[in-house]
Structure 1
Amino acid sequence: MSIGFTFKAKTRKIDALKESVKEMAEESGYGLALNENWLTVSFCTMGDLSMEWERESGLRGQWLITGNCCSTPAGAGFHAAAIRFLDELGQKRLSELLVDDETEYYHHRDFERMKREHFYPWLNALKRHCAERGSGYSNFCLCWDMEQYQPEEVPGTVITPMGRFNIENMIKQTEKNSISWLAERFFIWDNEEKDALYYRNTALNYLWEQCCFVPSRRSSEDSVCNQMIIDSLEQAAVLNPGLPLPVDAYREICSLADRAPSIKEDAPKMESDYPVGFRKREVTHSFGTLRLTLPGRLKYEWETYGDGDGCNMWRDSASDSPVWRVSGFRLRSGNAEFPEECSQNEPEEFEIPGGRARIGWIEYEEDGQTAFQAVCDVVSGPSQYLITAAYMHKEEKDGIYALMRKLKTVPDTPAVTNTESYAQ
């Protein structure tokens, strides 16, 4: 269930088209990913317009352009901006442009009508979905990228890119204040322009979904994330000083970025059902059928070995401990069993959801220092996994073991998704 549009067109000069898109994106401050056969314009967080092309047959064949844009959950403001962008590009470089816009905004250009007839009913459908089904799940998600980590389970809540909502409170507030109350908190770009609400919600998405709440000096990625949050909230405060903001989170990020806050401490504070930031707490990563729960501040890397092989690694690069690594394989037939040889100290076997685990630890020398490694083998049907955590201090073992005891495996089946109409 989503809102968006598709289009097709023709052009004689594909290089000229790409150059026009590049100029238009730069002029508007949009991101651009450009490839030999496709491009994507990024208007905002979760707001992309993509197109690809192929040459017609024949000496005088033109280039056939096809493209699409999914406007939810970015919002009506993004939808309108993407339509305007495509319209301008069509006037410059495209011929025979045909747009299939389910909101019909491409033809009537009535922004409030589009919100009223499409985006608000879409959001109302999600609200009904939460009310009817949310209580039956321990980790209910809406518009969440299921390829990334899963936030901590909190019954009675819904996970979204804009944060965690208490389902009961969300329904009460929407019934009391209308669906616009939820729209202002759910969509990145709810209004026609990039106003204060847009900048606040951009910051909220970064705070909830991406921010690790670590010093900017840890990595360039952390620095960019922290700076985006600060800049967006400060811009929101300038555009609308009365707009409630996540002031406490802002001041925390300023401290992590070694930046003096410019938003006053007594500025209007935005209410939230839960403390801001999924990665402030533990999150769960997927590796095949394995589910591994780790502190949210750890970032994923692919560690490459000298022979060109490698493994999955999670670590806090600002700390020397612990470093988690995961590898695994799947048998063609039969069920996996623990390796017969076990060199770990104090091995212990126990059941986990969907399989069995065996943990132990070893001591070794690294750069003249004593180091330790917790080792966990997991077997589940034909799958076998090896999870290790390298650490430098003995007292860290208990915390690592506690995380290893949270391991679980899930059936190797496709994820369940629900598709329905948003028509009322």
Structure 2
Amino acid sequence: MFVQLICKDRNEKEMNELYEVLAALCHREGIQIEDKGSHVEILACPQGKIVVTEEDGNMILSANTRHAGAGFHAFVVDLFKDIQEEVPLGEYELIDDLEYANDEDFHRLHHVYENELDYVKNLILTDSDFRKKNYLYDETYFLPIEDENKVMTSTGFMDRKEFMNKEIEDLMDDFYVWNDWDRDARFYRNAALTLLAKEGRGIYSKMNEETEKTANEIADYLEIAHEKDPDLKLPVKEYTELVDLLDRENKLKDALPMDREAIQYRTREVYHLFEDARVVAPGTAERSYDPSQQSVNLMAPYTNEGEWSWLIQASKQPAILPDAKDLMEEKPEIFKGKTIWMDTYEEDGIHNINAVIRQDEEYLYIHAITNNSKDVPYLQECIRLSGFAH
């Protein structure tokens, strides 16, 4: 489920012409195009991204369409063909592993995604290792912590029995955003539910510029969905909480509420992914990476009126713990097959936790600090639950 367009042997002027055409096409379609410095990203929906790179005089446009759905796959193929029509001079190579570019049979394409979901459903029900992997999103820095009685979907938890008995056609909106040809009301609702599950941060929605932008996108999607189909059931409760936080006008006062709650995975503890390590912390934690320490830093979430109270730093390098060797000479605890050395102390009013986790032959080093002693037991428990993906 992959589409790629290679625009071959382009000089600088020709490259610029292609970028101008791309920008115009994105404006026509009402989708975002962003320059990331090393590459350009075209954001068609929360699970659908086209990445544009340059290599050896070629412009390469690539899209993984596995998570977004048949509608996104068809959209990408059509967009790539539009580029070739707008800039007919020059050599192109269009690669489509589902061959939609050849027959443009959307019914057949949709059936491919139904078969894929049927395969995934069987794995979720029968393979415990698969359930612990990222089968939800095209890319993510976190995974929800699994619940034995529930199934994780890209729009939130679903009761295992309900999941088992649901027909594939009825599960499509819980796994794919773009299931029809058009971006209809269901598309915008699915986009909002997916963003809520993946990036919803509840009361911390205005924590920083990025979280506030996402919150506004969710509200925008739901308002468009309601405008397109006033009878479509929507997550009215979550929308109302968001617009109140954002000081936006409530445009869904007459909307029908959904029968189930819209889950926001980040409003609870999750696995924050770092190489092959998994660090447990609230999903709302603010994340950064320190290249000098080769560590991931997770900072306590905060509202726009507050400030962070704790920090977890994790690395596979022992340098973040100057006393790692001394710490490992102490008696460790055994927790769920892991060997854990942990030391807690107070210095200048700051509570510090140093820990080393050994799982099989791998080591994870964690340093946590907090200005509140009440946070210490919680941070210790997060550390104990952390480890490696295997």
TM range (shorter): 0.7 to 0.9
For 2:21, the aligned partner's letter is S
Aligned to 2:377: 398
Cα offsets for 1:265-319 (capped at 9, x unmatched): 6x333234x6511011111224456533212222113469xxx768524222434
Distance 1:395 1:132, change over 3 A: closer
Q: Kindly state the Cα deviation for residue 331 of structure 1 after the two structures are TM-superposed.
A: 7.2
Q: Partner residue of 2:369?
A: 389
Distance in 2, matches of 1:309 and 1:281, equals 27
Quote the residue 2:119 is aligned against. Answer: 125
Larger Rg belongs to: 1
Partner secondary structure for residue 271 of structure 1: coil
2:97 is matched with 102
Who is 1:421 aligned against? none
Question: What one-letter code is carried by the residue in structure 2 that aligns with 1:340?
Answer: D
The aligned residue for residue 48 of structure 2 is: 47
Q: What is residue 58 of structure 1 aligned with on the other side?
A: none
Q: Quote the Cα distance in structure 2 between the aligned partners of 1:64 and 1:145.
A: 25
Task: Check 1:407–1:180 CA distance in 2 against 1; reply closer, same or farther (3 A cut).
Answer: closer
Aligned residues between the structures: 377
Contact 2:234 2:258 in 1 (8 A): yes
Is the contact made by 2:332 and 2:339 (CA closer than 8 Å) also made in structure 1? no
Matches within 5 A, 1:61-76: 63-76=57-70
Partner of 1:350: 333
Check 1:253–1:109 CA distance in 2 against 1; reply closer, same or farther (3 A cut).
Answer: same
Unaligned runs of 5+ in 1: 56-62, 365-370, 416-424
- Asked whether the equivalents of residues 236 and 257 of structure 2 are also in contact (C-alpha less than 8 Å), the reply is yes
TM-score by length of 1: 0.77
Equivalent of 2:158 in 158, 161, 165: 165
Residues 271 and 90 (structure 1 numbering): CA distance in 2 closer, same or farther, change over 3 Å? same
Quote the offset at 1:339 in angstroms.
4.0
**Aligned letter for 1:198?**
F
Evaluate the alpha carbon distance shift between residue 96 and residue 320 of structure 1 in structure 2; reply closer, same or farther with a 3 A threshold.
closer
Find the counterpart in structure 1 of residue 17 from structure 2: 16
Sequence identity of aligned pairs in percent?
Answer: 20
Runs of 5+ unmatched residues, structure 2: none
Q: 2:144 aligns with which of 146, 151, 158?
A: 151
Task: Quote the residue 2:220 is aligned against.
Answer: 231
How many Å separate the matches in 2 of 1:102 and 1:341?
53
Q: In structure 2, give the amino acid aligned to 1:387.
A: H
String of CA shifts for 1:335-362, please: whole Å, max 9, x gaps: x9944389xxxx9953334222223120
- Give the AA of the match of 2:370: A
Match of 2:326 among 305, 327, 340: 340
- Deviating runs (4+, > 6 A) in structure 1? none
Q: Distance in 1 between matches of 2:233 and 2:340?
A: 49
Aligned runs of 1:239-258 on 2, under 5 Å?
A: 239-258=228-247
Aligned partner of 1:378 in structure 2 is 356
In structure 2, the partner of 1:183 is: 172
- Which of the pair is proportionally richer in helix? 2
* Per-residue Cα deviation, 1:369-402 (whole angstroms, up to 9, x for no partner): xx3313122142563613212123x333333333
Deviation at 1:45, TM superposition (A): 1.7
